[in-house]
Amino acid sequence: MITVQPITSGFAAEVGDVDLGKPLSVENLAEIRSAFTRYAVLVFPDQTFDDESQLAFARNFGPLETTVFKQRKDHKLRLHENLADVGNLDADDRILTSSDRQRLYNLGNRLWHTDSSFKRVPAYCSMLHARSIPPIGGQTEFADLRAAYDALPEPTKRRITGRIAEHSIMTSRAKLGFADFDEDERRAFAPVPQVLARRLPDSGRMSLYLASHAGTIRGMPQAEAEALLKELIEHATQRQFVYSHRWRVSDLVIWDDRCTMHRGMEFDDQRYKRDMRRATVSDVAPTCEQMGLAVAAE
């Protein structure tokens, strides 16, 4: 039996007595999946992975995504193409210089977001492993979008039900003044429709579905859409909905991208190495399809 120790009452828990670097028993996997239905963030301390064993564990949860950096012809990948490189190192393990494109792109992780909501079929969950961490700073914060949904006033719930937002990675990057996308990327990153509120099939709970990637809401004037998105993100990231994770080397943290947002916190990235590798599992279908909403072509 694994142990599941709540960190917060219904959002984050720590899981012990399991070695994820080895093939998992059917029972242990079922226990983890059941804990992951209740808690949207699970912390597994002391996990030793290489890239292959991290990927093998992640594949238990579904098909894996390919890193967005693969789109870019001039980018040399440091890691396996199924791992997102969210640290501050280049292909030779040196600290990225302050003007490096990969660093500037990854600064978008400092904005509240959920992974891959800019893909038609977005992420189900993300699995981030800490290989090396700075001595101070660099926490990751997580917001519970199920609890945030539950706490919304009824008129707001009604206002967002059935609404569709458009998400693009270029929207979140533009918020930091980053616009260095080539033609292939612009095509690949065209906005995609996502519901604003969704029901999770496993727990049956409702959740907001938000990210800094969201820029417009279909059928709503732009100013009103931006105001609403901003208000919803502010609502959902109040302290009572947030768990802040202070990393230890060899932590694996997995989160449910369907019902959380997260952001990376600042650290001295010109001084300390932070090597963090993320495997990401795709969801089963577009969110509009899951919610039974017909999407007109734009």
For 178, other C-beta atoms within 10 Å of its C-beta total: 16
| Minimum CB distance to ligand OGA, residue 294 (Å) | 31
| Minimum CB distance to ligand OGA, residue 116 (Å) | 9
116 binds ligand OGA (CB under 6 A): no
Partner from Mn ion, ligand OGA, none contacting 133, C-beta within 5 to 8 A by type: none
Structure-token pair, residue 236: 């959902």
Q: What are phi and psi of 104, to 5 degrees?
A: -65, -40
| Minimum CB distance to ligand OGA, residue 202 (Å) | 22
Which amino acid belongs to residue 115? D
Partner from Mn ion, ligand OGA, none contacting 128, C-beta within 5 to 8 A by type: ligand OGA
Contact 207, 10 (CB under 8 A): no
Partner from ligand OGA, Mn ion, none contacting 216, C-beta within 5 to 8 A by type: none
Partner from Mn ion, ligand OGA, none contacting 253, C-beta within 5 to 8 A by type: none
Q: Between residue 99 and residue 128, which ones bind Mn ion under the rule CB under 5 A?
A: 115
| Minimum CB distance to ligand OGA, residue 262 (Å) | 6
Name the nearest CA neighbour of 256 among 4, 56, 46, 32. 32
Q: Of these, 88, 117, 140, 216, which contacts ligand OGA (CB under 6 A)?
A: 140
Residue 94: burial class (beta carbons within 10 Å; 0-12, 13-18, 19+): exposed
Task: Check residue 35 and give left, alpha or beta (phi > 0: left; psi -120 to 50: alpha).
Answer: alpha
**DSSP code, position 23:** P
Q: Which residue has the tokens 């190192």?
A: 89
143 binds ligand OGA (CB under 6 A): no
In this complex, which beta carbon is closest to ligand OGA, that of residue 136 or of residue 227? 136
Partner from ligand OGA, Mn ion, none contacting 278, C-beta within 5 to 8 A by type: ligand OGA
212 binds ligand OGA (CB under 6 A): no
Q: Between residue 94 and residue 113, which ones bind ligand OGA under the rule CB under 6 A?
A: 109
**Separation of alpha carbons 39 and 184, rounded Å:** 38
262 binds ligand OGA (CB under 6 A): yes
Can you tell me whether residue 1 is helix, strand or coil? Answer: coil
Q: Of these, 47, 126, 171, 194, which contacts ligand OGA (CB under 6 A)?
A: 126
Name the nearest CA neighbour of 188 among 116, 105, 242, 108. 116
Name the nearest CA neighbour of 236 among 220, 253, 254, 214. 214
Task: List contacts with Mn ion (CB under 5 A).
Answer: 115
Task: List contacts with ligand OGA (CB under 6 A).
Answer: 86, 109, 115, 126, 128, 140, 262, 264, 276, 278
